[in-house]
Structure 1
């Protein structure tokens, strides 16, 4: 594993964009520790002005950076990359642009969209937020209430059932009905731009209740039936069929499960590019912002948060949280700016989990692992352990955006988004891995 950018921050790395005035710094802390109805309490104009000043400063490339720029200028002509590429490399400390090619051209970003979703979720909900799944009892019925936890497991459900059974037996009850309440997330369950073939394979219709991340059409009923079976196994009779319902206001709390902290969930979501978790984060972020938990409202909050951080949203269009929507469009420059935010020490208490969650080249179990054939060519093998980056893959769209320490010893942020190449997807990924190795400087 490489020395991470967040480790560099801990060792005292500083940068121009992180120099917030004390009032803004206090406001940012308030926004993190006590998000209120999604109101981001820091000043939009000050963040934007700080970043703009850094980006408009005169930039002179050092020899290592000039080599990156020259090599990228040549290597993006690789026929595997086709003719539609948006790319940029910036210096993480000074924000100067090292290289760019159609950097403000909006392309289909695939799962690089998750970087925007994570930024909004961590900012609005806070890194310590936990998702709660509850069991309540009312008038002979146990209701399993979904809280948007896409990480709920059979073990968690078993613990809920065990606690519920103990309460029922203490009350002298041996028979109940079971229903599921997933009303936290309203319809629609499918986003604009999702192909029919995406569900339930790549993603399940978005609901507030699921167990073991199973991909079925109705994850809530599936979880409820699993819960009912667990009750039966522990000696409680379940009468009738599991159905959808609403927990009554008079219902008595029986059991509760809290998920891991959001910071942990975001890191995992980015490592494996979990589409379902990303969509749950989008919905829950909308709720925390005082809006309905819909795709439309969730993406509106993402735009609001990025704007208040000073990120330009010119030609920025998203319709979901995962990046599966084929209607999404984001320029490489915007993706790089989002990574720049996450890598900024000033935002470390809130956003460092994005950088820490980026897959590392050659990291087994991540989307840059050897099992996916990444960083295994003669050009890119040298970058194993040296590049941290978010992948993105859809038919006709492949992206790679992240960070690496270049030959001058400075961290560089890069984003490459390719659309419409007719080459084999594995070959396109190899070419993008080579571009990342070029930024690192090991492929000189």
Structure 2
């Protein structure tokens, strides 16, 4: 028998064995789903071999489902597709005719102290001062002692800071922070209250320091045995009028957070206040009108670039996907919108761009796909597990974009997977994945990467309509990954 025929027989046998194994895996996964109490929830599962495009498991995976934070996989992948793995956010400070102009690019990292390596909240204020110091030094080194106006230019994004379908009762929470072309301190206040016996509690060293912000302290400070801590913070709509309420029984060592309003103005006022402390007079802080020309044109040839801050997209992707930070994902969405349209980035145009990029990479408009926001907070997002797994498979991990995408995901023991897969035998493989949760929804999508050089497996497991705890849904997801690894390694 010829060598060619032997090779054909070998390939045929290999495919037949693989097909048999995949059939067994499909049945085993069905058994796992059927014996799991999902509290009236429904699951969709799609697992794909990235080398062949063959579906290994396909269970109720064709219809659109709410992905929760798995939406970030679409957003971040689309941002990489359109911006590239070498992209960097560029925030610029110009001096022009007695004015300073701070030009934003949508960078969400400025003032993110956890990203900067914060390990002790007690040092946050000092770390914030260090982060803004280079900007102040750049102005100080010019010898200028008086600034007429500090302009903030956040027009890389529109001024619709909040997505219209986010829960209206949660928009002051840190995870619904406003999304701006200039961001600072994750666009949230941090409060560290401590008790004053028998009086109103002290608000402590809240950050960022903003003396121009109105704070109405209505707290109590009762420290008796029968008293409890109940401190909370509210912000009036479309303003930075803060009211603190509740009781402070003991010192808070981790921050109580509330989203602030209009991040670009907050950053501008913070920079102006710091300049004044360093002997430089600053007049008003104003926003560059939306009707103005592009920054490079209205500044004119006499503008002097004083400082440039660059943030590689990889840093933003990791905070979005590994840590599931919503502001980062929304900043990616609006930034890819700005690049796609040449106009101020918006939620709507970003969502349209994501859908178009998915169709482009997968070859057709996808059934059940309807992006709404970038982070997955919106319940109007819809994507099928099949589309999401195929989307992951479309990124060749040997290419720069695919490598950057993979490295942005959490692995067991870190990020949002720090408590997941503790009982999973991971010898010979690494799971890179993104988890997701909003009320009634649990999702897990990502890759199984093999140490032996086998091409990765991409998967998406989404559960919707859970009427109770998602604990069983999460356990089911991990069991499915475990049986998949066991089947493919044997």
TM-score by length of 2: 0.70
Tell me: CA distance 1:175–1:297, structure 2 relative to 1, closer, same or farther (3 Å): closer
Q: Secondary structure at the match of 2:459?
A: strand
SS in 1 for 2:404: helix
Name the CA shift for 1:224/1:235 in 2 (closer, same or farther; >3 Å).
same
User: C-alpha displacement at 1:61, in angstroms?
Assistant: 3.6
CA spacing shift, 1:410–1:144, aligned 2, 3 Å? closer
Shift of 1:367: 0.6
Structure-2 residue corresponding to 1:28: none
Shift of 1:406: 7.5
CA deviation profile, 1:220-266 (whole Å, cap 9, x unmatched): 122112211221232212234x3323464337234233323213322
1:125-148 per-position Cα deviation (integer Å, ceiling 9, x unaligned): 111111111222344332222111
Q: 1:244 aligns with which of 274, 282, 287?
A: 287
Match of 2:66 among 90, 108, 118: 108
1:208 to 2:181 alignment:
yes
Aligned equivalent of 1:369: 418
Does the residue aligned with 2:110 lie in a helix, a strand or coil? coil
Asked if 1 retains the 8 angstrom alpha-carbon contact of 2:362 and 2:390, the reply is no
Q: What is the distance in 1 between the residues matched to 2:424 and 2:141?
A: 56
Equivalent of 2:479, from 425, 430, 434? 434
Once the 2 structures are TM-superposed, how far is the Cα of residue 415 of structure 1 from its aligned partner? 0.5
Confirm whether residue 382 of structure 1 aligns to residue 417 of structure 2: no
Q: 1:72 to 1:407 in 2, by over 3 A?
A: farther
RMSD: 2.7
| TM-aligned CA deviation for residue 438 of structure 1 | 2.4
Does the Cα contact within 8 Å between 2:179 and 2:330 map onto a contact in 1?
yes
Query: Bigger CA drift: 70-79 or 208-217?
Result: 208-217
Note closer, same or farther for the CA distance 1:254–1:405 as it changes in structure 2 (3 Å cut): closer
Match of 2:332 in 1: 281
Question: What residue in structure 1 maps to residue 352 of structure 2?
Answer: 300
1:315 corresponding residue in structure 2: 368
**Residues 213 and 421 (structure 1 numbering): CA distance in 2 closer, same or farther, change over 3 Å?**
same
Q: Does 1:413 align with 2:458?
A: yes
Deviations 1:276-314 (A, max 9, x none): 111111111122123431111112221222222125411
For 1:416 and 1:435, locate their aligned partners in 2 and report how far apart those are by CA, in whole Å. Answer: 9
Q: Structure 2 matches for 1:47-58, cutoff 5 A?
A: none
Q: What's the CA shift string for 1:360-385, capped at 9, x where partnerless?
A: 1222xx11013xxx224xxx443497
Name the one with the larger helix percent.
1
- The question of whether the paired residues in 1 share the 8 Å contact of 2:45 and 2:460 is answered with yes
User: 2:199: which partner in 1?
Assistant: none
Aligned counterpart, 1:130: 88
Q: Note if contact 1:404-1:439 (Cα within 8 Å) is conserved in structure 2.
A: no
Aligned to 1:79: 37
Residues 192 and 100 of structure 1, relative CA distance in 2, 3 Å threshold: farther
Q: Residues 107 and 311 of structure 2 are in contact (CA less than 8 Å); yes or no, is this contact kept in structure 1?
A: no
| 1:17 counterpart residue number | none
Q: Deviations over 1:176-212 (max 9, x none)?
A: 4323221221132222421123423212221101123
Which of 49, 65, 68 does residue 22 from structure 2 map onto? 65
Identify which of 118, 134, 139 aligns with 1:159: 134
Q: Specify the structure having the higher radius of gyration (Cα).
A: 2
Q: 1:404 to 1:351 in 2, by over 3 A?
A: closer
1:93 shift after superposition: 1.8
Aligned to 2:203: none
Kept after mapping to 2: 8 A contact 1:129/1:262: yes
CA–CA separation in structure 2 for the residues paired with 1:73 and 1:426: 19
Q: 1:367 to 1:311 in 2, by over 3 A?
A: farther
1:269 and 1:259, CA in 2 relative to 1: closer, same or farther beyond 3 A? farther
1:182 aligns with one of 123, 142, 154: 154
Contact between 2:79 and 2:332, CA under 8 Å: does it hold in 1? yes
- Indicate how the Cα distance of structure 1 residues 407 and 351 shifts in structure 2: closer, same or farther if over 3 A, else same: closer
Query: Which of 142, 162, 165 is the matching residue for 1:193?
Result: 165
What residue is the counterpart of 1:262 in the other structure?
A: 313
Q: Which ranges in structure 2 are unaligned for 5 or more consecutive residues?
A: 1-14, 112-127, 189-259, 290-294
CA distance change for structure 1 residues 406 and 184 in 2, over 3 Å: closer, same or farther?
closer
Looking at structure 1, the residues matched to 92 and 283 of structure 2 have their Cα atoms a distance apart, in angstroms, of 20
Point out the more displaced range, 303-312 or 381-390.
Answer: 381-390
Paired residue secondary structure (1:224): helix
Which secondary structure does the structure 2 equivalent of 1:179 belong to?
A: strand
Structure 2 residue corresponding to 1:225, chosen from 263, 269, 276: 269
